Every structure is written in C-alpha cells, then in structure tokens.
Structure 1
C-alpha cells in the first residue's frame, strides 16, 4: 500500500548539507513521505562555504541519493543555486537527466506565473562584503554546535529546548541588514514583472503572504530551512501550503530506510542511473 502523498511541486531550501546544523534525517523523513512531480531545491542545499571532508555523515549523503532517486523515477529536479553553493553557478543551465541547475526559474502554475530564486541577490552583506558574510556563516555554525550542547543539557534536566541561534539571528537582523526589507524588495519586483507568486529561501524564515501595491498584487512564499524550522513549500490543487515537519510529519515514514548499508558506492550508482535512465522522457 502506497501511503506517500502526491504533490505537484515541493520546494526545499537552506538544507546546508555538510554542516553540523543540518537536520538531514528529518529532511529524509519528509522526502520519504512524498511523491513530487517537480522538486525544487532553492539554494544552499550543499554548504560548500563550510564544507569539510571530515564531516559528511551518511544521512547527508542519503539526502543526495534520495534526490537522485527522485530524478531516476521521473521527478523533475530543479536545483536553484544559492550563496552557500554558489560554486555550482558555473554549471548554470546544465542538465543531467531530469536534473537541471539554474540561477532562477519561472513556471506556469495553472495559468499563473511563479518566480523562483534563492534570494541572496538582495542580501547587501553578501554582495558588498562577501568575506564578512562567510565569517558570519562559520560563526553561525559554531553557534549551532553550542546550541546543541545547551539543548542536550536542557533535555537532561527535563526542560524545553531553546533555539539560541535563532534568537540571536533575529536580534541582529537590523544591525547587519540580514533581511533588509527582503520581503518588500522581492514582492515589489515580482509585481513590477507580472509574477503572481515569488518563491524564495535564504533568510530561513518560512512565510506566505499576499502583498498589494498600486501596481498590482503577488503572493510571497519562503520555504524556510532544515536547520531551525524544518519547513518546505508544497503546491497541489492550485494552492500553496507551508509544510512544517514538527506539526505535519507522517509517522509511517522514517529516514532510516535510506540509511541502511549506505555508502559512496550507492551514491555513484544513483548518479549513473540518472545519467543513463532506463526510460526516456516522453515527448
């Protein structure tokens, strides 16, 4: 019996594979629960900024394999580059089987135009002081490690977990202009260009809101992240929803089924299948 949910589009961003803050097992649980027609990876999936050879657990490797499996089984996978995986921008417009790498995407959804991009283009700190943004990224990773220790201690004491990194990040947004009116800039630009939906990641703040100006209206959506919020976006039956792992997870699906006997050979095999699919796409 197939209990997986069919969705037209699933959008995941800011996974940060290769860092201590990534919650790959929770993401695998989610991915194992759906059958998307299109999977959009909206930036910062692999954290190349902070990548270290000595830290890339099997669960992180399994996320990559799961994406490959989706593609091999007919799912269209659109990888939109972000700032933490910006090295992939040199491969923009590359296609491997059902996987494409792009900087942005525009899709027609039931007669409405949807504009997808990561969002770092609006981040002043990255555009004007990339070295400072990278330093902040490494510091954030250390902060997450400390946060994990704090939460481990709180759990031992029977107290509620505390997102120190999230609180600090929110408190300094104004000082470093991390968000810098991100939503306003994105929605106004979308309205000016006639997009009905604008879908972003980057700021780790899951959200869905309707924005109206004198020039028109648009719906702004942000997929959040898999470091703090564990959220994704889903489009089905002509409407969007924010998926929240903590409140929406489905018990029959677990990450462990993708972790059994998983190694690099499995990943290579998955990539080979994607490059040489058994079934050709219908014209």
Structure 2
C-alpha cells in the first residue's frame, strides 16, 4: 500500500496499555502515512492503568513506529495529558527531534496553532473564563491550580480528579461540559491571538469556528483511539478529521501482530523504549 504524505498529524487519547485501545488499527494508520511533523496531544500511554500490566505487542508497535519517526528526524511533540501526567516531571526534555511539553505553539502557513491536552479545565472550569482574561499567563495559572488541586486530592486518598467520570452521569451534563470546554479553550486562544486551538481529552471530535466579541478562532479536537479512531491532519492549507472506519483501503490491509505480550512493570517498559530508540538512532547514523 502506497503511503501518503501529511504535513502535520495530531493524535490524542490513544490510551496505550488499556484493553480499550485500538492499537492494531492505529498501527495500520501510522504505517499508511509519511508525516512531516507530529503532535501527540496527551494520554498516549495510559500510566494510570499500568497496574494491570497489560502491554500487547500491537501497543509496542505503535511506540516503535513513532520512535522510528524520531530516529528519522521527524519532529514529534509529546504533550502530556492527565493519564500520562507522570511525564510532566520531564517537561522540557529533548532527545533529537522528540520533546516533552505541556503545550506547543506551531506556525502553520503564517497562522499560529496552540495545542494542549485540555485536562487543566477539569477542576477549574467555572474559574477558567476570568483566568483567560489574564492573557498569556492565564493558561499557566490553570496548570498550577489544577496540579495543586490534584495533589491535595491524592494526599486525601481520593486520587486525581477525572472529569470524564463526572460527565458520564447524564447526557445533559456531558453536553454542557463539552460546550463549556470548547468555549473556554476558544476564549483563551482568542485572548492570546491564536488562529487555531487544538485539544484532546474530551473524546469529542470537532472542527468549527468559535467567535466572541474579541475575535474568532478555529477550534479542533482530535478525539480518541478508544471509540472513534480519529486523528487531525493538516495538508495543503487545510485541516481535516481523519476517520479510520471510513478508510476502506487500510481496514482491508492485513497487519499480523501476535498478541498478547505482558511487561512486568513501568520501569522495564521505559528501559525497553530507551533501548529501542538508541538502536534506531544508531542504525540511522550508519
């Protein structure tokens, strides 16, 4: 199958390491494209669920493909989310073309795209609008406030706050949360002069213009690889939502991956990833 070039790919909410992750399908998708730049917009590896010790070969295959891109010099920005928040300890880490960040701003054909996961709104939704008015410092304040609340919650033995559990209580509350989430993301983006705001987290794909009295912004959400199997692609001056289930050629392409494969603990997983990257890097330099 011929691979197609894509200028920018945005993936989020893959949740590798969980039973719900459609890693085999994601492998097919990743093998069908040649990206120039990649943004992993949070919750790629589900560290929350690692106690289950579930790590099939298809999940490792996803990681290997991404690491191969890094070894080839393709920029890969890993934006930390709530399920992989442990990576926030390594913010600013860079290895070749790979970096770990809280948010990323990319220049795309003269326009500015602001990308972040979105979990910072979970415990601060009602206060986010006035924080947005603070401009460039508003988002950083949200991160600090969200982290402080989650820290206190953990100390009280309640674990991190997860808005996804709350909004599942009713359709009405879910719709309200999604609308509030999108509006607040747009408010902050407009305050900071961004042309695009790209999120994940709420597992709700979207591409729409949001306008306020202060301006407008294109809001985009890449959704997930649990239920929807979608990504965002930017090519030839336009965004599009990619839907795996509509890609007949890829669906019919056989991908033989043996299952399952278990990894004893987190440390061994990370050691395996580092070794794999070192191997790919050395092979690429030969």
**What range is the shorter-chain TM-score in?**
0.7 to 0.9
Matches within 5 A, 1:1-283: 3-52=2-51, 54-124=53-123, 127=146, 128=149, 134=160, 169=168, 171=170, 174=173, 178-179=177-178, 181-251=180-250, 254=253, 256=255, 269-273=275-279, 276=282, 278-279=284-285
Deviation at 1:96, TM superposition (A): 1.1
| Match in the other structure for 2:141 | none
Deviation at 1:252, TM superposition (A): 7.8
Deviation at 1:124, TM superposition (A): 1.8
Q: Distance in 2 between matches of 1:14 and 1:249?
A: 23
Segments of 5+ residues of structure 2 without an aligned counterpart are 126-145, 263-268
Compared CA separation, residues 219 and 241, structure 1 to 2 (3 A): same
Q: Distance in 2 between matches of 1:124 and 1:68?
A: 33
| Match in the other structure for 2:128 | none
Secondary structure, aligned partner of 1:66: helix
Q: Distance in 2 between matches of 1:174 and 1:39?
A: 33
Segments of 5+ residues of structure 1 without an aligned counterpart are 141-167
Q: Deviations over 1:72-126 (max 9, x none)?
A: 1221111000011000001011011221100000010000000010001111279
Q: Distance in 2 between matches of 1:112 and 1:213?
A: 19
Q: Distance in 2 between matches of 1:138 and 1:210?
A: 24
Deviation at 1:250, TM superposition (A): 3.0
Deviation at 1:243, TM superposition (A): 0.3
CA contact (8 A) 1:80 1:102 kept: yes
| Match in the other structure for 2:140 | none
CA contact (8 A) 1:33 1:253 kept: no
Q: Deviations over 1:4-35 (max 9, x none)?
A: 11001000000111111111111111111101
Name the stretch that deviates more: 80-89 or 63-72: 63-72
Q: Distance in 2 between matches of 1:173 and 1:99?
A: 40
Compared CA separation, residues 138 and 122, structure 1 to 2 (3 A): closer
- TM-score, scaled to structure 2: 0.77
Q: Deviations over 1:140-177 (max 9, x none)?
A: 9xxxxxxxxxxxxxxxxxxxxxxxxxxx8383561797
Q: What's the RMSD between the two structures over aligned residues?
A: 3.3
Secondary structure, aligned partner of 2:249: coil
Secondary structure, aligned partner of 1:14: coil
- TM-score, scaled to structure 1: 0.78
CA contact (8 A) 2:164 2:202 kept: no
Q: Distance in 1 between matches of 2:242 and 2:175?
A: 29
Q: Distance in 1 between matches of 2:255 and 2:272?
A: 15
Q: Deviations over 1:40-65 (max 9, x none)?
A: 10000111111125311111111111
Compared CA separation, residues 17 and 137, structure 1 to 2 (3 A): farther
Deviation at 1:67, TM superposition (A): 0.8
